[in-house]
Amino acid sequence: MILALLSSVAWGTADFLGGTLSRKRKPFAVLGASQIFGLVGASFMALLFHDWGFDRVVVVNGIIAGVIGLAGLTLFYAALASGQMGIVSPIASIGVVVPVFMGLAHGDNPSMLQLVGIAIAIVGVVFASGPELGGGADPKPVVYAFLSALAFGTCTYFMAVGGQSSPTMTIVVMRITQVLIAVIGLLILRDLGGLVKSDLPMLASIGVLDASANILFAASSTLGMLALVSVLSSLFPVVTVLLAWFIHKERLIRIQYIGIAIAAIGVCAISAG
């Protein structure tokens, strides 16, 4: 549970930084460049923990997670760049229902209190988006966010499956796949998306935080039930919303505060169960 919650913090911070930079640079360029740093970070962790090695489970699931995850991140960064973070980020987290249902279908057996906690946490994250979805918001970032939610949910499932063999190496393969696709894309487009040398520190932070979050989640899925750790790791919008409020001064309305509080109650119920 602690690893899953830490992954939420890392994911939420990476998303905030990625969304912020994507408002000045092209989202695909931000994503591609940051993933290079993520690959370096994940490879370093694999070597540090003497976990370097490839097998069929790691390679197959890492590649699938990499392709689907890259598509989800591209849509998500585009949504963050064109929409309000406080709306986009919670919508993207709805994809948690995919690994939750997959976990339950494959034998996860949470207690009744934990099932209630799962439902409460998901409702809290949705409420954190606020009622502004019906108040004239541009539909394009909302659609992008929903599509990214589906991609993220599917990606986390394959990360968890690969993580049963090796959490770190699954993320290494995932990052290799994403970097290769991104490099090919940048070569075809012949466009660095406006990136400049001064962007490197933020790109490095985004890549390392995102890779660390992936490894933390994959590791947590080997220690606990997928249905539970998926929900705990999906709380990243709370971090993104709070950072957007504190740094960008994005306003929070009452239902968003309520949503954050409800999500915290859900976490407590899951932990108590």
The tens digit of pLDDT for each residue in 203-245 reads 999 999 999 998 998 889 888 888 788 888 878 878 887 888 8
Average pLDDT of the chain to the nearest whole number: 83
Q: Is 110 helix (H, G, I), strand (E, B) or coil?
A: coil
**Range with top average pLDDT, 19-28, 32-41, 142-151:** 32-41
Burial class (CB in 10 A: 0-12, 13-18, 19+), 181: middle
What letter represents residue 84's amino acid? Q
Residue 137 has pLDDT above 60, yes or no: no
Name the residue with higher pLDDT: 176 or 15: 176
The C-alpha R_g of the chain, in whole angstroms, comes to 17
Characterize 102-113 residue by residue with b for buried, 16 or more Cβ atoms within 10 angstroms of its Cβ, and e for exposed.
Answer: bbbeeebebeee
CA gap 268, 33 in Å, rounded: 37
CA gap 168, 1 in Å, rounded: 18
Residue range 73-84, pLDDT digits in tens: 888 878 877 766
Q: How confident is the model at residue 138 (pLDDT cuts 50, 70, 90)?
A: low
Residue 265 has pLDDT above 80, yes or no: yes
Which DSSP letter does residue 248 get?
A: S
In contact, 273 and 141? CB cutoff 8 Å: no
Residue 58 has pLDDT above 90, yes or no: yes
| CB within 8 Å of 40: residues ≥ 6 apart | 207
Pick from 183, 205, 201: nearest CA to 192: 183
Q: Is 193 helix (H, G, I), strand (E, B) or coil?
A: coil
Lowest model confidence (mean pLDDT) among 157-161, 223-227, 261-265: 261-265
Q: Is 9 helix (H, G, I), strand (E, B) or coil?
A: helix
State the total domains in the chain: 1
DSSP-H helix ranges across 139-166: 139-163
Range of the domain at 24: 2-272
What letter represents residue 78's amino acid? A
CA gap 118, 111 in Å, rounded: 11
Quote the pTM value: 0.79
Neighbours of 183 (CB within 10 A): 14
In contact, 166 and 4? CB cutoff 8 Å: no
What letter represents residue 223's amino acid? L
